[in-house]
Chain A
Amino acid sequence: MTEFNELSRQFQISDLKEQRADLHFFHASKEHAVAVLTSLKEKYGYTHLVFFTVVDHLEKNEFHLTYMLHNYEKHHDMGVVVKIARENVQMESIHHLWPAAATYQQEIREMYGVEFPGSPGLYENFALEGWEDIPPMRRDFDTKEYSDKTYYPRPGRESHDPREYMKENLYPGEAETW
């Protein structure tokens, strides 16, 4: 695909994958990601930021940031995946390219703890208010354990094995013959 080939001469990008005829993904290095996005927007017509999200790959100790762009003229989607390590995780902000990205970054900061220095309103509350634990969408956050210690779980009902229960309570005289 021409965009990928041209960009790969200039930037560290790899692993082009065709998901559908109108949807491609490729990986970009952390240092070059914003430059790649800028080129895609300014030069190749990918003017729409469809979404920006994070996937937590705990086993690989990585976050995968995914920028999904759309080209209105070619009706084509391009996903740019950026792998970053899970410790002290920080990424360049893209709010100068799409102002709406600041909201995505605010949410990602709150839910995954990824920092975007310079992004407006980064530390304002998004969905949570006064959250003190580790970010809740990280996979090493144990939501069951947190819920148990915070929200007074209601003890479940007592349950019986129906066969044993009937033996003991309904037909005690005939229990020997079962």
Chain B
Amino acid sequence: MSDNMNDMDQIQLFNDQGRLLNAGLPDEEKALFCDAAPQVDAPYRGIWEKFLNWARSESLWILGFGTGCGAIELRPLMTSRYDMYQYGVQPRPTPRQAGLFIIGGYASVKTMKRIVRSYEQMQGPKFVLGLGSCTVNGGMYWDSYNTINRLDHYIPVDVYIAGCMPRPEALLAGINELKKLIKEGKGENANKYAENFEWYKRNQKKIIKDWNMPDYNW
């Protein structure tokens, strides 16, 4: 563990003014991207926040990005048999419109780069559902050189659904569990990401060696 810590300390994220370095970008592109780290967006209080949470939980829009084999489970979920629209869930084509990111199974380092980028582009409050064993502990790819073991070291995860593969019923159960969490006011992982930004970013940079994108892309 101490080796890891040394590795991580070497990764410098901020300059003297507390702005992001964006060291991976070429100089001419640095001005195009923001260099501010994410900030905590404190929830409202009382009945207004409860109302908002109800609205959020009843309109979960999925980012249509199938990151692994688990994405195949989203197709039956959409069609008439399981019909996720009855739960207020529907797929969206871009991260800007989506509030729920379903990580479908194994995430290779190459995909992880795109996952991080898409996750950061989603607007808060945003939620992540880890689908399948691979997101929990690496699953059958636990000793692979190229797939991550624990998704929650790179982006915050709200609900895990274990199984290889979980069936669409399990996915619906996970979505309902997520709704319950949001209604209880526990869907604050976008803020958790902002609070622990440095830790997440160091973990991400430790595995994504060719970091050629902004440090935080919103």
- Collect the chain B residues with CB atoms within 8 Å of residue A146's CB: 145
> A132 — nearest CB in chain B belongs to which residue?
B209
Stretch at the interface among A20-28, A45-53, A72-80, A136-144: A136-144
Interface residue range, chain A: 20 to 34
10 contacts between A and B (CB under 8 A): A127-B110, A128-B110, A129-B110, A130-B209, A136-B145, A143-B145, A149-B3, A151-B207, A153-B138, A154-B138
Bound form: Cα–Cα A136–B108 in Å: 14
Q: Give CA–CA (A151, B210) in the complex, Å.
A: 17
B137 at the interface (CB under 8 A from A): yes
- Taking the complex as formed, is A152 at the interface, i.e. its CB lies under 8 A from any CB of chain B? yes
**Interface of A: prevailing SS:** loop
Asked if B144 CB lies within 8 Å of chain A CBs, one says: yes
Lowest 7 A-B CB distances belong to which pairs?
A130-B209, A130-B210, A154-B137, A151-B149, A144-B143, A143-B145, A136-B145
Per the 8 Å Cβ criterion, residues 76-118 of B in contact with A are 109-110, 113
In the assembled complex, how far is the CB of residue A88 from the closest CB belonging to chain B, in whole angstroms? 23
Q: Does A131 contact B (CB under 8 A)?
A: yes
Tell me which residues across on chain A come within 8 A of B192, comparing CB atoms.
none
- Bound Cα distance from A150 to B153, whole angstroms: 12
* A129 vs B137: C-alpha distance when bound (angstroms): 23
Does B136 belong to the interface (CB within 8 Å)? yes
Q: How far is the CA of A143 from the CA of B208 in the complex (A)?
A: 17
With A154-B137, A154-B138 known, 12 other A-B pairs at CB within 8 A are A127-B110, A129-B113, A130-B208, A130-B210, A133-B145, A141-B145, A143-B143, A144-B143, A147-B142, A150-B206, A151-B150, A152-B203
Interface residues on B, range: 20 to 34
Interface residues of B in 159-218 (CB under 8 A from A): 203, 206-210
In the complex, whether B129 has a CB less than 8 A from a CB of chain A is no
Contacts of A128 in B (CB 8 A): 109-110, 146
Write out the residue numbers on chain B whose beta carbons fall within 8 Å of the beta carbon of A125.
Answer: 210
Q: How far is it, in angstroms, between the C-alpha of A125 and the C-alpha of B212 when the chains are bound?
A: 14
Let me know if A151 and B110 touch, CB within 8 A: no
Q: Is B148's beta carbon under 8 Å from chain A? A: yes
- Give bound CA distance, A153 to B7, whole Å: 17
Whole-angstrom distance between the alpha carbons of A154 and B149 in the complex? 7
Task: Say yes or no: A154-B209 contact (C-beta < 8 A), given A143-B144, A147-B143.
Answer: no
B212 to chain A, nearest CB (A): 9
Contact partner, B149, options A131, A133, A153, Cβ 8 Å:
A153
